[in-house]
Structure 1
Amino acid sequence: MDNIEALLKEKGLTKTAFSDLLGIKKQNLNGLMKNPTLETIKKFASVLGVETWQLFANPEEIHHKKDGISLTCPHCGKDINLKIE
């Protein structure tokens, strides 16, 4: 979940501030980031104000479009288009 650190930086949050928002100790945050449950992933996304999938996509791979979002596949380099309704 390397993207969490990028999202924290983008939102101007430190790991300490993020752990405070989650209501946990910073030491526990590192463990949760290494091996999160689905519930933890959903809580991370909620606190960061992002969709769950955004925790797994690299910011460089996300391209905002008028009618949705396009992600670049890290393996083949092709665009994956997501329509937002």
Structure 2
Amino acid sequence: MAELRIKEVCKEKGVKVMDLSTMIGVSQTNTSNIINGKVNPSLETLEKIASALNVPITELFNAGTNEELTALIQHKGDFYKACTIAELENIVGKIKEKQ
């Protein structure tokens, strides 16, 4: 799964976990677990977080490079981010292996 950077975005925006929880309608415990990578959020939850923080959803993912985001993929609850065609091909290969 791509690493999320929700904690960093919250700090940048001056938003506390408790406030974010209220804004997205998720318990503080679950929000904390999402931020700390203990659970994978749904795409709907990521959209709510991005909206609450007033950022594009891609901002919630570590870029890893300076390239434009090529793809954000959700497969069976896992999220993958690819910044290059090679990374995208690698993700597709991993998904095929799991099936």
TM-score when normalising by structure 1: 0.62
State the 4+ residue runs in structure 1 displaced beyond 3 angstroms: none
TM-score when normalising by structure 2: 0.54
User: Conserved in 2, the CA contact under 8 Å of 1:16 and 1:26?
Assistant: yes
- What is the CA RMSD across the aligned residues, in angstroms? 2.1
2:8 to 6, 9, 26: 6
| Bigger strand fraction | 1
> What is the aligned-residue identity percentage?
33
For structure 1, the residue ranges without an aligned partner over 5 or more in a row are 59-71, 74-78
In the alignment, the residues of structure 2 paired with residue 81 and residue 9 of structure 1 have an alpha-carbon distance, to the nearest angstrom, of 23
In the alignment, the residues of structure 2 paired with residue 40 and residue 11 of structure 1 have an alpha-carbon distance, to the nearest angstrom, of 18
In the alignment, the residues of structure 1 paired with residue 42 and residue 58 of structure 2 have an alpha-carbon distance, to the nearest angstrom, of 14
CA-CA distance at 1:81 after TM superposition: 4.5
Which structure is higher in RCO with an 8 Å CA cutoff and minimum separation 6? 2
In the alignment, the residues of structure 2 paired with residue 24 and residue 41 of structure 1 have an alpha-carbon distance, to the nearest angstrom, of 11
Alignment: residue pair count = 64
For structure 2, the residue ranges without an aligned partner over 5 or more in a row are 70-99
